[in-house]
Structure 1
Amino acid sequence: MKLYGLKTCDTCRKALKSLPEAEFVDVRSEGVPAAIIERALAQFPDSLLNTRSTTWRALSEADRAKEPRALLAEHPTLMKRPLIEVEGTLYLGWDKTVQAALGTA
């Protein structure tokens, strides 16, 4: 199990605390493998980009117009967090649905 997120993100910290066996990958320092981004974009096409983040608000209109794949490559912190990979299955966020699916609710 891998948890992709930010060490400064409260939601990621909560998820990591509930999933002590998860390997934490800091997207700011380590990035997210391109294959994982591709799968996540296919599975969560409308929700992978966090358009409420401070990073998003700081982008110019020209940057915001770029395709999500390019934006995430340039600004990995734009990814909604956490992105959790468990045995080939991806989960996005840390809501009750994800917690129940991972048996932590």
Structure 2
Amino acid sequence: MNKIYYLASCDTCRKIIKSLPKNNDLVFHDIKQDPISEKDLEIMYFLSGSYEALFSKKAQLYKSMDLKNKSLTEDDYRKYILEHYTFLSRPVFIIENKIYIGNSQKNILEVLKVLS
């Protein structure tokens, strides 16, 4: 099952979703309305090889909790992602058992290519 984990209130996510081909077969998962389950996160971890790769260091909470000045472990990244949706780097696409994390232009171009 091909899936996108996104935040409906995020302008960047909305812009990316709007650019997707209309005939995509993605299942849309709004992480604010339906928080990430441990199972979903484990699948993402398996595909990415790291919780840190899934973690957003741009999150407001990352700064306000002063996490940038702490040495975080993989267990810490996992815990924070499960605690609050804002810690997941967005969007996350899982397409044909391959993961695409974040909104970099290179990443989005790869997603568009795979979906076309």
TM-score range, shorter chain: 0.7 to 0.9
Structure 2 SS opposite 1:30? coil
Partner of residue 8, structure 2: 7
Comparing 24-33 with 79-88, which one deviates more in the overlay?
A: 24-33
Once superposed, what is the RMSD of the aligned Cα atoms? 2.5
Matching residue within 64, 67, 76 for 1:67: 76
- The total of aligned residue pairs comes to 103
1:100 counterpart (88, 91, 109): 109
Query: Could you say which residue in structure 2 is the equivalent of 1:83?
Result: 92
* Counterpart pick for 1:29 among 30, 33, 55: 33
Task: Quote the Cα distance in structure 2 between the aligned partners of 1:88 and 1:34.
Answer: 18
Rounded to whole Å, the distance in 2 between the matches of 1:54 and 1:44 is: 25
TM-score if structure 1 supplies the norm length?
A: 0.77
Q: Considering fraction of residues, name the structure with more helix.
A: 2
SS at match of 2:54: coil
Amino acid paired to 1:9: C
Q: Distance in 2 between matches of 1:16 and 1:23?
A: 12
What is the TM-score when the length of structure 2 is the normalising length?
A: 0.71
Measure the CA separation in 2 of the matches of 1:60 and 1:97: 30
Give the deviation of 1:44 after TM superposition. 5.5
How far does the alpha carbon of each residue in 1:52-96 deviate from its partner, in whole angstroms, 9 at most, with x for none? 2112223265xx656111111111221000001112221101223
Counterpart amino acid of 1:58? S
**8 Å CA contact retained: 1:16, 1:24:** no
| Larger mean Cα displacement after TM superposition, 79-88 or 90-99 | 90-99
Alignment partners' CA distance in 2, 1:7 and 1:94: 14
CA 93–60 in structure 1, closer or farther in 2 if over 3 Å, else same: closer
